[in-house]
A = this chain, B = another copy of it.
Amino acid sequence: MKTSGVAERVLGGDVRAAARLMRDLDDGMPPARRALQELFPRTGRAYVIGLTGAPGAGKSSLTDRLIGHYRAAGRTVGVVAIDPTSPFSGGAILGDRIRMQDHALDPGVFIRSMATRGNLGGLSRGTSDVVQVMDAMGKDVILVETVGVGQDEIEVAQLAHTVVVVSVPGLGDDVQAIKAGVLEIADVFAVNKADREGADRTVRDLAMMLELRKSAATREVLEHDEAHRLRRTSPVDPHEAGFWEPPIVKTVAVRDEGVGELVEAIGRHRAHLDATGERRAREVARSRAGFLALLREQLLAGALSRLAAEKGTLESLAARIAAREADPYALAEELANRLRG
């Protein structure tokens, strides 16, 4: 396939072309989709790191410091901030100012905030598009920052090679309970704001939960866990060679403390993925999720176009469904039947 001018420019690292392409993708412009398709064979080289955690855990400050460390090591960096409360996304109105602007003038850093969500595809489609553009631009490391609750985070886990779960001391038991959900997606734990009282307790709690998980894994209880199912194809055996025990790293992002250790822990996880072949498995899982999101979006667009031609606008159809005059099940089935092999 001949590449269009846009794809050429993005592959050449053109920042304006990349930013424009991301905007056009957001707006669902067909030429942008074609450019993304042209970029696709040239992607798959970037290392994608997800950062997730409760609001207030300091993910943005940590992201900021990670950029600094990777830049100092000569790596180029892409950042996707999809936390709706992140200062990058303009979502914080009472939050503190972030120092990330320091990097705004560095040509080795490309920052994109995802304040809005796509109409049809939700979060994951847009995020994976942006990651793909940054990958094609030649960014060595891509940091994806997301707030740590709900479906978003599982989708980000599918996108990332290494998932860093950011905790913080003193958020209380209820919040700690969230970790039960994120435990399965964490490759590295960062306990940020570790100069606060209770940091050691948070570390102990996490270590305890990891220990519980290990025993559970031995009993293969986790076999049915969803996050687990998404990421691994066989039950975990903690005694097998190459079992990864997520390290717990204490950081104080605002003072740049422990961030080198965090970078080092991420590097060890990367080496682990390479050594065990799990990096390839994650690439396959990521391709699977990306393809499904794309398929969902394209199918829906195709179906809505047919519906508009045959049954009227979605709005009028929704009004008839609300009045129980139209049967949404029959309509959906009729359309889906055209696809079946």
Interface residues of A (CB under 8 A from B): 33, 36-37, 40-41, 43-44, 54-56, 84-85, 91-96, 116-117, 122-123, 147, 149-153, 171-178, 180-181, 205, 209, 212, 226, 280, 283-288, 290-292, 294-303, 305-310, 314-315, 317-319, 321-322, 324, 327-333, 335-341
Q: Of residues A147, A181, A336, which shows the largest number of chain B Cβ atoms within 10 Å of its Cβ? A: A336
- By Cβ-Cβ distance, the 10 closest A-B pairs, closest first, are A309-B341, A56-B174, A302-B339, A302-B336, A288-B318, A306-B341, A37-B329, A150-B150, A298-B336, A287-B321
B151 and A294 within 8 A (CB): no
Q: Can you list 10 A-B pairs with a CB-CB distance of less than 8 A?
A: A41-B324, A85-B174, A93-B209, A150-B152, A292-B314, A294-B329, A295-B300, A299-B339, A335-B339, A338-B339
Q: Known interface pairs A178-B55, A327-B37. Does A292 touch B300 (Cβ–Cβ under 8 Å)?
A: yes
Query: What DSSP secondary structure best describes chain A's contact surface?
Result: helix
Q: Which of B149, B226, B287 contacts A328 (CB 8 A)?
A: B287
Q: Which of B43, B84, B178, B338 contacts A338 (CB 8 A)?
A: B338
Q: Of residues A36, A56, A332, A338, which shows the largest number of chain B Cβ atoms within 10 Å of its Cβ? A: A332
B332 and A291 within 8 A (CB): yes
Assembly CA distance A173 to B92 (angstroms): 9
B309 and A303 within 8 A (CB): no
Assembly CA distance A150 to B84 (angstroms): 8
Taking A287-B328, A305-B340 as given, write out 18 further A-B residue pairs in contact, using a Cβ cutoff of 8 Å, ordered by the A residue number.
Answer: A36-B329, A40-B324, A44-B324, A55-B177, A84-B180, A85-B149, A85-B174, A85-B181, A93-B212, A94-B177, A95-B173, A150-B153, A284-B319, A287-B321, A294-B328, A294-B332, A295-B300, A299-B339
Assembly CA distance A301 to B292 (angstroms): 11
Assembly CA distance A302 to B340 (angstroms): 5
| Nearest-neighbor residue (CB-CB) of A43 within chain B | B324
| Nearest-neighbor residue (CB-CB) of A176 within chain B | B94
Distance (Å) between the CB of A316 and the closest chain B CB?
10
B contact residues around A173 at 8 Å (CB): 94-96
A291 and B151 within 8 A (CB): no
B303 and A295 within 8 A (CB): yes
Assembly CA distance A113 to B306 (angstroms): 37
